[in-house]
Amino acid sequence: MVLCRVKESTVIDTNFAIIKLTHGMTAIVDPEDFEYLNQFHWQARKSYSRYYAMRKVVTNGHEHWIRMHREIWKTPKDMIGHHKNRRTLDNRKSNGENMTQKIHQAIHVNKMPQQIKYE
């Protein structure tokens, strides 16, 4: 994959689209998700030493952040959205899977116990 700076969010081809973020960063998404996602102002925000695409929402005067990958992958509140290739700005559906916190932690510390299985 060739990385380059983009001035605007754009659909590259039938394989992926790019959403422009803050700090000169971009997120990769599926073309079918582009139009919906591109209506929002997405930011590159650091969390746990990695950058994620996030947007701010204010509800009843309270601000909270929505992560792009959780919105695309429809991650339930009690689960974690895991980036298979560990590139946290690659939010294509093929790069994501929802899993429990326990399994996610096991993957990231390379201690995947025998009793934990993907469901």
Q: Which pLDDT tens digit goes with each residue over 30-61?
A: 999 999 999 999 999 999 889 999 999 999 99
Assigned CATH topology for domain 10-108: Homing Intron 3 (I-Ppo) Encoded Endonuclease; Chain A (3.90.75)
**CA nearest 28: which of 58, 2, 62?**
2
The DSSP element (H or E) to which 32 belongs, if any, is: helix 31-37
Give yes or no for a contact between 53 and 27, defined as CB atoms under 8 angstroms apart: yes
Q: Six-digit token pair at 40?
A: 């929002």
Q: Residue 4 contacts by C-beta under 8 Å, 6 or more apart in sequence?
A: none
Q: Given this model, what pLDDT does residue 119 score?
A: 44
Tokens of 35: 């139009």
